[in-house]
Amino acid sequence: MTTATLPPAAAHATLSPRTPAPRWREVPGFSVRPARRDDGPALAALSRPFVHAGALRERPLSLYLARASDFLVAQAPDGTLEGCLGLREHPAAGVLYNFCVAAHRQGTGMGARLLHAAFARARTRSLPELFTATTGSGRLFLRHGFLPACPSLAPADWAQSLDPGRGARVLSRAL
């Protein structure tokens, strides 16, 4: 798992967990909602460019269909999915995965909206901590309070599924 959302170059500074994240220009008319099973093909299509770029692990359509309820999606007024983020529940923690925002929507705040919706979902499910892994800079996660974490502190089955050849960094955030 990795984050494929890349903020603009101007967002290089890492903020402390108590520092509010910068406000990006809002994309009018977009909504963030839970994904439905019939969103599976759109989730796979949205993720495909990031898989080809090496930013996301390839996942079969069957996984998107079976785990659609894990996902939050950013939907354009015309119904197009422009971003997604999976939240998988594990005992005592959650794992964020398959985070991507369409290239033409990066830097608009869409990734931050998805991330905040995932925080709210995790809180309603009483998950005290979130983990993620990224092969990229992780700037968006770092700006929103994530810190580097030892993989041994993460849910064991998830941490063991990480491909060491990808060089992913594990990050965590208490809620």
Residue 16 lies in a domain: no
Tokens in use for 100? Answer: 């991507």
- Interval 96-143: pLDDT, tens: 999 999 999 998 899 999 999 999 999 999 999 999 999 888 999 999
> Is 15 part of any domain?
no
Asked whether residue 38 is domain-assigned, the answer is yes
131 is in which domain, residue-wise?
A: 28-174
Q: What is the CATH number of the domain that holds 52?
A: 3.40.630.30
Q: pTM for the complete prediction?
A: 0.83
- SS3 label, residue 32: strand
Q: How many domains are contained in the chain?
A: 1
- Residue 164 in 3-state DSSP? helix
